[in-house]
Structure 1
Amino acid sequence: MKIFTTITLLLVSIFIHAQSKSPDQFLDQWHRDAANADTAYFQKIADNGIYLGTDKTERWTKEEFWQF
């Protein structure tokens, strides 16, 4: 029983760790795409997504931001 519990906890831990890497990897790639002016950057924004800039007046739809 102890072995089963240990193995189960180990597998759950590995699974949780693997899932937590996904958002990090997505954001890292998204930032690389932006830095390189890669169109993949815009493909990752939802069609109804809103881009918020660093200034409170900077608020664009995906289409407006693409035109910018």
Structure 2
Amino acid sequence: MYGGRLDQANTALRAYVQEHGDRPWTAEELAELARLRARWTSAARESRMQIRPVAGPVSGSAVMTAA
């Protein structure tokens, strides 16, 4: 859709969140989620894609929507 690195980062982030489901996040899982989001953000900036900030905490499918 966007090309290369951004598509890969997006796919990895979405798969991780979907696989996680609705159960509570552990500290280790949140650390991995933060790593994947940072990778996605970096790729989005490289592609000059506009990133919308998300107000408040996000969870479950909201993470996928924000990403």
TM-score (ref. length: structure 2): 0.36
Q: Specify which structure has the bigger relative contact order, considering alpha-carbon pairs within 8 angstroms and separated by 6 or more residues.
A: 2
TM-score, normalised with respect to structure 1 = 0.36
The answer to which structure has the higher strand fraction is 1
